[in-house]
Amino acid sequence: MQPLRGTRDILPNDVILWQHIYNRTKEILALSNYSEIRTPILESTSLFNRSIGNETDIVNKEMYSFADQGKRQITLRPEGTASVVRSFVSNKLYQESKTNRLWYLGPMFRYERPQQGRQRQFHQLGIECIGSINPMADTEVIRLATQLLQEFQCFNYKIEINSIGNLQERNLYKESLITYLISYKEDLDNDSQARLKTNPLRILDSKNKKTQEILNQAPSLNQYLGFESRNHFDLVCQYLNELNIEYNINDKLVRGLDYYNYTAFEMKVDELGSQDTICGGGRYDNLIKQLGGPHTPAVGWAIGIERLLSIVKHNLQIKTKNPTIYIITQGIEAQRKIWNIIKTLEKYKINFELDLYNNNLQKQMKRAYRSKASVCLILGDDEINQKEITLKYLNTREQKRIFNTNLPQELEAMLKNN
């Protein structure tokens, strides 16, 4: 039986990479005072309708939604920000601190056609800096995204950044864009034709070449930005320049979610083909109030873990941990007595592998060498009678017997040598 289409098993060798990403992320973000938050996978459908926007592709086409046994409308979360904001509001985190720096890593779910860089169950690493309107917050989160990507050996990304202004400015631009595009309606791709009525700004993201040619002469959003929007964006750019973080201003970048305002940005890599965005985010100053909290500005981003790993997994040199001791028992009495020895190994936090097969000594020794352990511990009838243990050092093939009572000293010496 195969896993469901659009899902994947994460096998032990891959889990090592996931744990590395988690652990290094935790260490790096802690330096900037970000704390981990874990929200439920299940949320009320209305949360995403209100936050993401009814006319977005995510809400219209991609959400896994259903009625549970209590007739409640439930959705598997398609993205992380809305859930973090819901938690921020429902737990009144704004009463504890003026600024909340939060990060998360977990599975998201969208019903999309599976392809490279796009799965139906996928994982996102995200951060949210909640409570500051200062352009320094925008710069901080972009800086941390670059720091993490570089930590994971992803260096060939390009940052695209734009200001999408506030809601009033976007509405003025939207009217101008519709007026321009309506005369080209028949030349637009089918998705763009539909978006003319529902979400015209998303037409700017179209990958269709003909549509992009039409957009070359379209009015630009930055023509409609007021002083505050321009000043905020200029300061973000100045701070990025101070950090020597390279970026390109893309005045067609709008992002796919309705809650963004002011800064929007994406980090793209060529290796992913058409699904080239590895990190995307921006500022969302009205979402928290929209979901029932106090007016609280915020900015954040999300990185796709599967996309990241598809690029960097061969560059990450993560050592797999082999057992230090391989344990061989010979006979039923040895299998009874071995448990006290195992307790001693656990006390000294020495990892081991217990051979579970009733094979002869030669076959068990072959498995010991294949395990790449350093030491083989052998307990048989003769050792039990003499109250001893046989230790064979597999690298040097040196072998010796010790009394059971001397095992702690032997383990201490082993730890010092390592």
User: Is there a binding annotation on residue 362?
Assistant: no
User: Is there a binding annotation on residue 79?
Assistant: yes
SS3 278: strand
User: Is there a binding annotation on residue 283?
Assistant: no
**CA dihedral angle for residue 251, residue 281, residue 242, residue 99, rounded to 10 degrees:** 130
H/E stretch holding 111: none
Q: Contact at 8 Å (CB) between 288 and 83? A: no
CA atoms within 13 A on the CB side of 35: 9
User: Is there a binding annotation on residue 213?
Assistant: no
The token pair that represents 86 in the structure block:
């819901």
User: Is there a binding annotation on residue 333?
Assistant: no
H/E stretch holding 301: strand 298-304
User: Is there a binding annotation on residue 80?
Assistant: yes
Q: Which residue's entry shows tokens 């010092």?
A: 416
DSSP E strands: which ranges in 110-254?
A: 121-130, 158-163, 248-249
Q: What is the DSSP letter of 205?
A: G
User: Is there a binding annotation on residue 81?
Assistant: yes
Contacts of 321 (CB under 8 A, 6+ apart): 351
Best CA proximity match to 218, nearest among 173, 261, 260, 257:
173
Cα–Cα dist 103/125, whole Å: 7
Best CA proximity match to 166, nearest among 233, 235, 101, 216:
233
Q: Contact at 8 Å (CB) between 167 and 201? A: no
Q: Which residue's entry shows tokens 């260490």?
A: 27
The gap between the terminal CA atoms of the chain, to the nearest Å, is 44
User: Is there a binding annotation on residue 255?
Assistant: yes
User: Is there a binding annotation on residue 195?
Assistant: no
Cα–Cα dist 231/170, whole Å: 16
Residue ranges of the annotated binding site for L-histidine are 79-81, 110, 124, 128, 255, 259-260
Residue ranges of the annotated binding site are 79-81, 110, 124, 128, 255, 259-260
